[in-house]
Amino acid sequence: MSGKRGNGEGSIYPYRNGFAAYVWVTTPDGNRKRKYVYGPTRRDVHEKWVKLHSEARKGPVATNTPTLAQYLAYWLKEVVEPNLRPLTAATYETMVRLHIVPFLGAKRLDRLTVQDMRSWLNKLTETCQCCVQEKDAKRPEEKRRCCAVKKCCRQTLSKRSVNDARTILRSALANAMVEERISKNVAQLVKVQRARSKRPDPWSVEEACTFLENAQTWRDYLYGAYVLILVLGLRKGEVLGLTWSDVNLDAGELHIRHQLQRVRRRLIHTDTAKTEASEAVLPLPDICLAALRLRRKEQEAAKVAAGDLWTESDLVFTTRYGTPVEPRNFTREFNRRCDRAEVRQIRVHDTRHTCASLLAALDVHPRIAMQILRHSEIAVTMEVYTHVPSSETRRALRKLGKALGGSKQKDGKKRGKSKQQEPSDMDGQQDS
């Protein structure tokens, strides 16, 4: 290399133990600034300098690149929280804090590589979450049983959780590309094994009948909620967020407009607005109408009994003091009712699968079932939620109205002879 500088190379100069150079670039916010590159030799810096010139001609160039942790903090605050639902934003924040930043947070955003992604995903699959989050160490000393006493419990993440972490990082890097901070999305270039979804084992119609009959016999204050999640397929948050203004008992219709969720230690009553189908008007079968009318009478009686302690709200399902029912407490009560009714414990959300099976076995048209379950695609209704039972069960399901809402719901007199109302451990309490 000759001693003469090339055209425009006056910006390359000796710096400390090597060389440095700069190029005037336009930043993403429209300002003109110097962008510096460094290297041990003039040749190395010249190559970087030429590459930087090429990038500057193509479009805006960021002059200062944050670490991944810094960018993810910005992304969560400025992009995720304003545009996604509170529970989704909270889930993203948890994934970033626990599974992304501890492994990759110190890396510069523009220096992430495909190798970094593969190494991170492999490490995430092998890491015991009890150890890395010090779950066992946070327990009282007499209750420590695994990682804190050098007996690793191997509480690793499932494939689905690992894939979810990669999906969230891919979304963040896609936004960084839109903002022209990076040129490629390395998280998208890594292939991962697809997690196999677990098909639930929903209740049969006999189990559903047993569960509801037991709740009705014991005058469970959540009986109406159980009817709605089983017969209409309402989600837990939807049934707890249901308001009387969304219920038309005279017309026999129900609107799903709200949901109740606990997010970051706050109880939030928000709109559903998941899809257009989420806010469809649902017809109320006789058993649902009877259960809601009964619920209104019970709530009016509870209001009189509570007196000044009553908290006024429009919610259909409340505690004996009018306060919202905590989602976790609802799950606990549901599990207790399963035990008392001597039926298998399933997740509350799995009752939606039972609902679809009931509708399918009752020969309800798939399009009507799709409307009731509020799916956006008929394939979801047919392939995911529908579990066709045996012919014997199909014959029993045709008598669903009589089995669940017939003799048991005509009996204002029989209810007076039934067992005294069962006390609820969670009624009136707020979940910590």
pLDDT tens-digit series, residues 235-274: 999 999 999 999 999 988 898 888 999 988 888 888 876 5
pLDDT tens-digit series, residues 406-428: 444 444 434 344 444 555 544 44
- The span from the CA of 398 to the CA of 406, in Å, is 13
CATH number of 205-417: 1.10.443.10
HSE-up (13 A, CA, CB side) for residue 397: 24
Stated pTM of the model: 0.72
Which of 258, 257, 277, 276 is closest to 268 using CA atoms?
Answer: 258
pLDDT tens-digit series, residues 292-320: 999 999 999 999 999 999 999 999 999 99
Q: What pLDDT does 274 receive?
A: 53
Mean residue pLDDT of the chain comes to: 82
What Cα–Cα distance (Å) separates residue 22 from each residue in 9, 37, 402?
10, 6, 82
SS3 state of residue 94: helix
- The span from the CA of 190 to the CA of 187, in Å, is 6
- The span from the CA of 48 to the CA of 55, in Å, is 10
Q: What pLDDT does 419 receive?
A: 47
pLDDT tens-digit series, residues 35-74: 888 899 999 999 989 988 888 888 887 777 889 999 999 9
Q: What pLDDT does 179 receive?
A: 84
Q: What pLDDT does 381 receive?
A: 73
What residue ranges of the chain are covered by domains with CATH 1.10.443.10?
205-417
SS3 state of residue 331: helix
What Cα–Cα distance (Å) separates residue 183 from each residue in 24, 55, 78, 171, 341?
19, 10, 21, 14, 59
Residue 108 binned pLDDT confidence (cut-offs 50, 70, 90): very high
